[in-house]
Chain A
Amino acid sequence: MVSEVSAPPKSASLVGALVGNNQIVLVAALVVICVGISLAVPQFYSSANIIAILRQVAMVLIVACGMTMLLITAEVDLSVGASLAFVGVVAMDVINVTDSVFLGALAGIAFGALVGLVNGLIVTRLKVNSLIATIGTMMILQGGVFLYSREAIQNHHHLPSFVDIGAGYVGPVPIPVIVAAVIFIASYVVLRHTTLGRYLFAVGANEKTARLSGLRTTWLKLFAFVLTGALVGVAGLILGSLMNAGQPTAGRGFELTVIAAVILGGTSLSGGRGTLIGTLLGVFVLKVIDDGIIVLQWNQDLQMIVPGVVLIAAIYLDILRRRADAR
Chain B
Amino acid sequence: MPAEAATAAVAETAAPLPLEMTGIGKHFPGVIALDNVDLSLEAGKVHALMGENGAGKSTLIKILAGVYGKDTGTIRIAGRETSIASPGDALRQGIKVVFQEIALISEFTVAENIFLEQYPTGRSGSINWKKIRQDARALFERIGFDVDTNARTGALPISQQQMVEIARALAHEARIVVMDEPTSSLTPAEVALLFTVIRRLTALGIAVIYVSHKLDEVFEIADTVTVLRDGRHISTRPIGEHTHDTLIQDMIGRQIDDLFPRSRGQASGKVALSVKGVATEKLRDVTFDVYAGEVLGFFGLMGAGRTELAKAIVGFDPIDKGTIEIGGRPLHPHDTRTAVSLGIGLLTEDRKGEGLMLDLPVVYNLSLAALGSFARGGFIDETAEREAAQGYVDRFRIRTPSLFQEIKNLSGGNQQKVLLARWLLRGLSVIVVDEPTRGIDVGAKQEIFALIDQLAADGHAIVMMTSEMPELLGLSDRVMVMGEGRITGSFSRDEATQEKILNAAIV
Give the B-binding residues of A (Cβ under 8 A): 193-196, 198-199, 201-202, 205-206, 208-216, 268, 272-273
- Given A205-B357, A205-B359, the answer on whether A213 and B422 have CB atoms closer than 8 Å is yes
Q: Which of B48-56, B284-292, B293-301, B364-372 contacts A (4 or more CB under 8 A)?
A: B364-372
* B356, A209: Cβ atoms closer than 8 Å: yes
- Contact: A214 with B316, CB < 8 Å? no
Instruction: Give bound CA distance, A205 to B314, whole Å.
Output: 21
B265 in the interface (beta carbon within 8 A): no
**Measured CA separation A211–B355 after assembly (Å):** 10
Q: Is B357 a contact partner of A272 (Cβ separation < 8 A)?
A: yes
Is chain A's binding surface mostly helix, strand, loop or mixed? Answer: helix
| B416: min CB distance to chain A, Å | 14
A215 to B356 Cα, complex, angstroms: 14
Question: In the complex, are the beta carbons of B359 and A195 less than 8 A apart?
Answer: no
B118 within 8 A of A: no
Contact B378 A195 (CB under 8 A): yes
Q: How far is the CA of A206 from the CA of B339 in the complex (A)?
A: 19
- Which residues of B come within 8 Å of A, CB atoms? 314, 316, 336-337, 339-341, 345-346, 348, 353-360, 364, 368-369, 371-372, 375, 378-380, 382, 422
Query: Within the complex, what minimum Cβ distance (angstroms) separates B370 from chain A?
Result: 9
Given contacts A205-B357, A212-B346, 8 further A-B contacts (CB under 8 A): A195-B372, A195-B378, A196-B378, A212-B314, A212-B355, A213-B340, A214-B336, A216-B337
B380-A212 in contact (CB<8A): no
Name the contact of A213 in the complex, choosing from B353, B359, B369, B380 (C-beta under 8 A): B369
Measured between beta carbons, the chain A residues less than 8 angstroms from B378 are 194-196
CB pair B314–A195 under 8 Å, yes or no, is no
Closest A residue to B365 by beta carbon equals A209
Q: Are B353 and A198 in contact (CB under 8 A)?
A: no
A209 touching B354 by the CB < 8 A rule? yes
A209 touches B368 (CB 8 A): yes
Asked whether, in the complex, the Cβ of B348 is within 8 Å of the Cβ of A272, the reply is no
**Contact check: which of A194, A209, A214 meets B340 at CB < 8 Å?**
A214
Return B29 CB to nearest CB of chain A, in Å. Answer: 9
4 pairs of A and B residues whose beta carbons are closest in the complex: A214-B340, A205-B357, A213-B369, A208-B354
- Say whether A211 contacts B336, CB under 8 Å: yes
Flag if B345 contacts A208 (CB, 8 Å): no
By beta carbon, the residue of chain B nearest A215 is B337
**Which residues on the B side are within 8 Å of A199 (C-beta)?**
371
Contacts of B354 in A (CB 8 A): 206, 208-209, 212
Contact pick for A214, options B341, B359, B379, CB 8 Å: B341
Contact B375 A213 (CB under 8 A): no
Closest to B30 in A: A5
Give the complex CA separation of A284 and B417 in angstroms.
43
Known: A195-B375, A198-B371, A201-B364. A212 touches B356 (CB 8 A): no
Of A194, A201, A208, A216, the contact of B353 (CB 8 Å cutoff): A208
Residues of chain B within 8 A of A216, CB atoms compared: 337
Residues from chain B with Cβ under 8 Å of A211 in the complex: 316, 336
Given contacts A205-B357, A209-B368, contact A194 B422 (CB under 8 A): no
Question: What's the Cα separation between A202 and B316 when bound, in Å?
Answer: 17
B312 to chain A, nearest CB (A): 13
Count of chain A to chain B residue pairs whose CB atoms are closer than 8 Å in the complex: 75
Contact of A193 with B380 in the complex, beta carbons under 8 Å: yes
B381 to chain A, nearest CB (A): 10
CB closest residue in chain B, given A207: B354
CA distance A205 to B364 in the complex (A): 11
The smallest beta-carbon distance between A228 and chain B, in angstroms, is 20
Contacts of B339 in A (CB 8 A): 214
> In the assembled complex, how far is the CB of residue B386 from the closest CB belonging to chain A, in whole angstroms?
13
> What is the CB-to-nearest-CB distance from A319 to chain B, in angstroms, rounded to a whole number?
15
CB–CB A212/B358 < 8 A: no
B316 CB contacts on chain A under 8 angstroms: 211-212
- In the bound complex, what is the Cα–Cα distance between A193 and B346 (angstroms)? 27
**Does A193 lie within 8 Å of B379, measured CB to CB?**
yes
CA distance A198 to B378 in the complex (A): 10
Q: List 24 A-B contacts (CB under 8 A).
A: A193-B380, A195-B371, A195-B378, A196-B378, A201-B364, A205-B359, A205-B360, A206-B353, A206-B354, A206-B356, A209-B354, A210-B368, A211-B316, A212-B316, A212-B346, A213-B368, A213-B369, A214-B340, A214-B345, A214-B369, A215-B368, A216-B337, A272-B360, A273-B359
Residues of B within 8 Å of A210, CB to CB, are 368
B341 surroundings in chain A (CB, below 8 A): 214
Given contacts A195-B375, A212-B348, A212-B354, contact A202 B336 (CB under 8 A): no
CB nearest to B369 among chain A residues? A213
Point out the residues of chain B lying under 8 angstroms from A196, CB to CB: 378
Q: Please determine whether B359 and A209 come into contact, CB atoms closer than 8 angstroms.
A: no
For A273, the closest partner residue in chain B by CB is: B359
Q: Are B364 and A212 in contact (CB under 8 A)?
A: no
With the chains together, A316 CA to B357 CA distance in Å? 24
Query: A194 → chain B, closest Cβ, in Å?
Result: 5
Query: CA of A215 to CA of B358 in the docked complex: distance in angstroms?
Result: 18
Q: A205-B358, A206-B357, A211-B336 are in contact. Are A195 and B345 (CB under 8 A)?
A: no
**Shortest CB–CB separation between residue A67 and chain B, in angstroms?**
19
Residues from chain A with a CB closer than 8 A to the CB of B422 are 213
Q: B380 touching A198 by the CB < 8 A rule?
A: yes
Q: Considering the chains assembled together, what is the distance between the CA atoms of A272 and B336 in angstroms?
A: 21
Residue A212 contacts which of B336, B360, B372, B379 (CB distance < 8 angstroms)? B336
A4 CB to closest chain B CB, in angstroms?
14
Question: Is the CB–CB distance between B357 and A209 below 8 Å?
Answer: yes
Question: In the complex, which residue of chain B has the Cβ closest to the Cβ of A198?
Answer: B371
Min CB gap B249→A, angstroms: 32
What is the distance, in angstroms, from A159's C-beta to the closest C-beta of chain B? Answer: 38
Of chain A, the residue at the smallest CB distance from B348 is: A212
Would you give the shortest CB distance from B99 to chain A, in whole angstroms?
A: 27
Q: How far is the CB of A212 from chain B (nearest CB, A)?
A: 6
Residues of A within 8 A of B356 (CB): 206, 209
Would A206 and B369 count as touching, CB distance under 8 A? Answer: no
Q: CB-CB < 8 A to A209: which residues of B?
A: 354-357, 368
Please report the C-alpha to C-alpha distance between residue A213 and residue B372 in the assembled complex, in whole angstroms: 12
A205–B369 Cα gap in the complex (Å)?
Answer: 14
The docked-state distance in angstroms from the alpha carbon of A205 to that of B358 is: 7
